[in-house]
Structure 1
Amino acid sequence: MKVVGVYEAKTNFTELIREVQSGETVTVTKHGHPIAKIAPIFEVQPVENTIAQLKTLRESMRLDGLSVQALREEGRR
């Protein structure tokens, strides 16, 4: 995480934005005290995509005929 003062942030704003676009987080300070944070915004994927990924994961993790309850009981023995 990069730390810059207000004046430096103001004069180099375009360069700071380029760094943020590449994943860097920048903390802006005033008289040595943090006052702001500039961070990248990560896009949120639609719920449907997440559900599809979970279904694919579930399909790839077959229990070979065992139930979750049977596995849980086996773990308690």
Structure 2
Amino acid sequence: MQQFTIHAAKTNLSRLIEAALRGEDVIIARGSKPMVRLVPVAQGAFKVGLLKGKLGPGPDFFEPVGDDDLDLWEGGR
């Protein structure tokens, strides 16, 4: 565990980020009192089209609406 003062952390921020990315514990302290821990953000794998082919066809919004449905939308019964 490495502990740095706020001033030292501002001066060496790039180095501290690299240390955190390597898995090292980086603590930033105010004076001698630990205040925060610098940790990397988890990088999830983002995949486009994850559900492609699993949901089936969706509604076709460009097809004409049937008369019964149109009456309901327009307030008729």
TM-score where L is the length of structure 2: 0.51
Displacement, 1:41? Answer: 3.1
- Percentage of identical aligned residues: 27
Question: Who wins on radius of gyration, i.e. which is larger?
Answer: 2
Displacement, 1:44? Answer: 5.8
Q: Distance in 2 between matches of 1:44 and 1:25?
A: 21
Q: Does 1:29 align with 2:59?
A: no
Q: Distance in 2 between matches of 1:32 and 1:14?
A: 22
TM-score where L is the length of structure 1: 0.51
Equivalence for 2:5: 5
Q: Distance in 1 between matches of 2:40 and 2:12?
A: 17
Q: Distance in 1 between matches of 2:44 and 2:10?
A: 29
4+ aligned runs moved over 6 Å, structure 1? none
Q: Which amino acid aligns with 1:7?
A: H
Identify, as 1 or 2, the structure richer in helix.
1
Q: Distance in 2 between matches of 1:21 and 1:32?
A: 24
Q: Distance in 2 between matches of 1:24 and 1:40?
A: 10
Q: Distance in 2 between matches of 1:42 and 1:2?
A: 21
Q: Which amino acid aligns with 1:6?
A: I
Unpaired stretches in structure 1, ≥5 consecutive residues: 46-77
